[in-house]
Amino acid sequence: MTVIPAKVRIKEEKEMRKAYCEALMELAAENENIVVLDADLMSSMGMVPFSKAFPERTFNVGVQEANMIGVAAGLSATGKIPYAHTFGPFASRRCFDQVFLSCGYAKANVRITGSDPGVTAAFNGGTHMPFEDIGLMRNIPDITILEPVDTTMLKYLVKEIAKPYGLFYIRLLRKNAIKIYEEGSTFEIGKAVKLVDGDDVTIIATGIMVDEALKASEELKKLKISARVLNMFTIKPVDVEAIVKAAEETGAIVTCENHNIINGLGSAVAEVVVENHPVPMERVGVRDVFGEVGPESYLRERFNLTSSEIVKRVMLVLERKDRKVMECTD
């Protein structure tokens, strides 16, 4: 892993879907077993260039997510390496049994991409707004769940997962991300990236919340609070070592995710913390409610997915940490 944090964190010019398509086209050119499936969202996903370049390796099955997942599993049984895409809610809850059995239980070699995570579904509204996809997917034994944060990480991971055998879920922002990493950065699946070091508290974030976490750490710095920031882009298997280290060295943790706080990143981190080194924790995320329609900026405020919420939770967790320290010294 060689990570170069972005010098300036600004909105990227290139959309995530463009990077996704480019990565798959580069992969397909090198490896004839790469195939792509979609359920009538190929244009939304920006995959038309792929389908033009590799028509025989493109399977747009129409509006049938369950069939798409089964077909992907069947193709993998003949040695193909399928990447199947649809929107997050349809890639997870709509066809959960197919993902669980035809792919997971049957040990198929399949990559599933669920786009438009959480509030980024914006104008498609509550029906299309997955706050539960990580939660569902986490229940499948042996699955790997990834949430690439920008185009550099996305291109790296899309190519990287072509090599190992297994089931992968990519939680993918489709539009423009905030640049977090400079080109040339490399990553290791299952290893969190430490973006900022710190001693007082650790903020563990994924997806669109990584930039918010970095903003929060800058705010906290002004308050003389030293916050460590980890980008936990692999949600399963979660980086146990980094979490335990954070608990031991900083004594307080705040998780941040564009997902329900139930069964998402916060839960995954909490499971590791309570079993290994219990410390006070707070979770920033959607607090067990359904999504709704609106501009993303409104939805971020509506569901408290902001740097100010992170700062607030850090203050709360530090209060609890201080109490704990006082109780111990009493």
Q: Is 65 a catalytic residue?
A: yes
Shortest Cβ 57–another protein spacing (Å):
7
**53 lines the binding site for another protein (CB under 8 A):** no
Beta bridge partners, 102, equal: none
Nearest to another protein of 68, 154 (CB atom): 68
Whole-angstrom Cα Rg for the chain: 20
Options 56, 328, 329, 330; binder of another protein; rule CB under 8 A: 56
Shortest Cβ 139–another protein spacing (Å):
15
Options 25, 101, 189, 293; binder of another protein; rule CB under 8 A: 101
**102 lines the binding site for another protein (CB under 8 A):** yes
Shortest Cβ 134–another protein spacing (Å):
23
Nearest to another protein of 22, 65 (CB atom): 65
Phi, psi (rounded to 5 degrees) for 136: -65, -50
**107 lines the binding site for another protein (CB under 8 A):** yes
Cα 313 from Cα 326, distance rounded (Å): 20
Shortest Cβ 34–another protein spacing (Å):
11
Cα 85 from Cα 239, distance rounded (Å): 26
Shortest Cβ 263–another protein spacing (Å):
22
DSSP states along 212-262? HHHHHHHHHHHTT--EEEEE--EEES--HHHHHHHHHHHS-EEEEEEEESS
β-strand pairing of 144-146 with 167-172: parallel
Closest residue by Cα to residue 83 from 34, 28, 15? 34
**302 lines the binding site for another protein (CB under 8 A):** no
**105 lines the binding site for another protein (CB under 8 A):** yes
Footprint of another protein on residues 202-221 (CB under 8 A)? none
**55 lines the binding site for another protein (CB under 8 A):** no
Among residues 22, 65, 132, 147, the one annotated as catalytic is 65
Shortest Cβ 41–another protein spacing (Å):
16
Cα 215 from Cα 310, distance rounded (Å): 9
Closest residue by Cα to residue 87 from 58, 124, 59, 57? 124
Nearest to another protein of 82, 88 (CB atom): 82
**Site size with another protein, rule: CB under 8 A:** 29
- Whose structure tokens read 């990493």? 181
- What is the length of the chain? 330
Footprint of another protein on residues 57-86 (CB under 8 A)? 57, 59, 61-62, 64, 66-80
Beta bridge partners, 170, equal: 113, 146
Nearest to another protein of 164, 295 (CB atom): 164
Sheet with 201-205, side-by-side order of all strands: 193-196, 227-231, 201-205, 253-260, 281-286
Footprint of another protein on residues 30-49 (CB under 8 A)? 35
Options 86, 92, 98, 109; binder of another protein; rule CB under 8 A: 98
Closest residue by Cα to residue 157 from 196, 185, 179? 185
**54 lines the binding site for another protein (CB under 8 A):** no
Residues classed as catalytic: 65
Enumerate binding residues for another protein (CB under 8 A). Answer: 35, 56-57, 59, 61-62, 64, 66-80, 97-98, 101-102, 105-107
